[in-house]
Structure 1
């Protein structure tokens, strides 16, 4: 699948957000475009204007690592955006057959389920880049009990956020941030694996059914979802303020193993014990 549109829109969106002042260039007058001009990016990156224009039109085929790094520096890309640019360049040079081999598996090995079940202090789950939940422990099912009560399978966190808005807004106190994160993860996956038909189908569905998704998708923001803090509001135990850590299995690239937990001595630690007790009483199992 041709990714030139993706490349063009990503590079133009990044260029438009960088001001001359941010890169120690004179702002001047009569600027007809937001952000930097192509000539300014080319000068900062040490390439010709014609060559950068070719890249920005979507043709990354053959671009060297040093050129990509120079463009990333000129556009002030963060770590996730740099990786996304490299993914886009790799995809531009890769055959669909080879790319298909990198698609994350849709099933997990039994030992991974055992590892999930061994996590008893907090919710834990495995997802792919499309936000499909492939496996989970009992506490994760209890945390997302409203989502698991819905008929759609596999459970998909992005569908929950955008297509079950009322429930999602109750569950995520900061719905807008959760929406941004979901879209950025999907956009990152689209750069990593542009030949994933299931991902294209999901993006098409969400774009058709959610104006909020369409707006965020058009922003071309990407994200590495490695660690941080999240706040949930569970219908039974109330607010849960947890930290999380994500890991990628070494033998299954493209999957993410995430664990949520509460800091010791916090109200959430007590709430997680209550959630575990409720899950056991309600018969919720992984």
Structure 2
């Protein structure tokens, strides 16, 4: 699976356009036709010629050296996640054969994951894939997530839920919805070098691209890694819950566990009350139907 040559070029342009001259110690003179740094300014900061930077940003040079990438990363003030993304884009573009092929989006999780989810009960926990399909979950997570509408689609998908399901704006207040949207889009951009050619990945992007809130974020090329996060949600069964969404990688690059943990005593009491009223746990964690992406 390869990354389109324009991916590196688009990422470089997006990082230049978001960087203000004042952030790198430059004075801003006159009106600018485009936001961010001028190409000549970035070239000076990175010690490159304007002509060479232009070739990189237009996708006409696809083999920048490590020294060039390092100079650009420093000049663009890239974060750790962004530096990793830049390096992966460059590798996928020029040396893809050196990187192991990622598993398909629709590959099944290993059987032990289902047993682990059962053993985590009564902590709500689910197993996610690279396009944020919920591929397996335990009984506690099903009890907590069903009233939110997360399980209304088959298979459930957290990105589709967030951007397409009307209940998502009830679950999150405006600020939390926006921050979670930023994270979700950043996750997908970070996954794109590995899974951008996978049919399931492309289908997801096509589904949510029509939503302006997604399209605007997607165009910025912001990337983010999967990190634990604190969320305040509204649950119809118990009201507001302050939760910590813990992240545990499952050993394979395309599956990871998400656990819902209470952030305070009030949330712990409310969550305990909610889960206490649920039916007895099923003998095995639920496994969502497999949906395999179409080969590129």
TM-score range, shorter chain: 0.7 to 0.9
Which moved further from structure 2: 73-82 or 1-10?
1-10
- Asked if the contact 2:150/2:161 (under 8 Å) is kept, the reply is no
The counterpart of 1:177, out of the listed 155, 176, 179, is 179
What is the aligned partner in structure 2 of residue 198 from structure 1?
200
**Other structure's SS at 2:29 match:** coil
Where in structure 2 are the equivalents of 1:90-169 lying within 5 Å? 90-94=91-95, 100-104=101-105, 106-146=107-147, 147=149, 149-150=151-152, 152-164=153-165, 166-169=166-169
Return the TM-score normalized by structure 2: 0.84
TM-aligned CA deviation for residue 273 of structure 1: 0.8
Compared CA separation, residues 193 and 126, structure 1 to 2 (3 A): same
Where in structure 2 are the equivalents of 1:30-49 lying within 5 Å? 30-49=31-50
**Other structure's SS at 1:35 match:** coil
Compared CA separation, residues 141 and 94, structure 1 to 2 (3 A): farther
In 2: Cα distance, 1:141 partner to 1:169 partner: 20
Compared CA separation, residues 79 and 98, structure 1 to 2 (3 A): closer
Compared CA separation, residues 66 and 121, structure 1 to 2 (3 A): farther
| Length, aligned pairs only | 281
TM-aligned CA deviation for residue 100 of structure 1: 4.7
In 2: Cα distance, 1:58 partner to 1:103 partner: 27
2:89 corresponds to 1:88: yes
In 1: Cα distance, 2:100 partner to 2:212 partner: 30
Q: Deviations over 1:183-240 (max 9, x none)?
A: 22112211333322210121012213x2322222222221112112012211112111
2:239 corresponds to 1:229: no
TM-aligned CA deviation for residue 104 of structure 1: 5.0
Compared CA separation, residues 245 and 70, structure 1 to 2 (3 A): farther
Compared CA separation, residues 148 and 157, structure 1 to 2 (3 A): closer
In 1: Cα distance, 2:121 partner to 2:3 partner: 45
Which moved further from structure 2: 232-241 or 50-59?
50-59
**Other structure's SS at 2:279 match:** helix
- Asked if the contact 1:121/1:272 (under 8 Å) is kept, the reply is no
- Between 1 and 2, higher relative CO (CA 8 Å, sep ≥ 6) is seen in 2
- Asked if the contact 1:84/1:192 (under 8 Å) is kept, the reply is no
- Asked if the contact 1:249/1:255 (under 8 Å) is kept, the reply is yes
What is the aligned partner in structure 1 of residue 209 from structure 2?
207
What is the aligned partner in structure 2 of residue 256 from structure 1?
256
- Asked if the contact 1:243/1:261 (under 8 Å) is kept, the reply is yes
- Asked if the contact 1:233/1:240 (under 8 Å) is kept, the reply is yes
- Asked if the contact 1:126/1:134 (under 8 Å) is kept, the reply is yes
In 2: Cα distance, 1:202 partner to 1:13 partner: 22
In 1: Cα distance, 2:254 partner to 2:43 partner: 33
What is the aligned partner in structure 2 of residue 63 from structure 1?
64
TM-aligned CA deviation for residue 167 of structure 1: 0.9
Return the TM-score normalized by structure 1: 0.87
In 1: Cα distance, 2:61 partner to 2:278 partner: 51
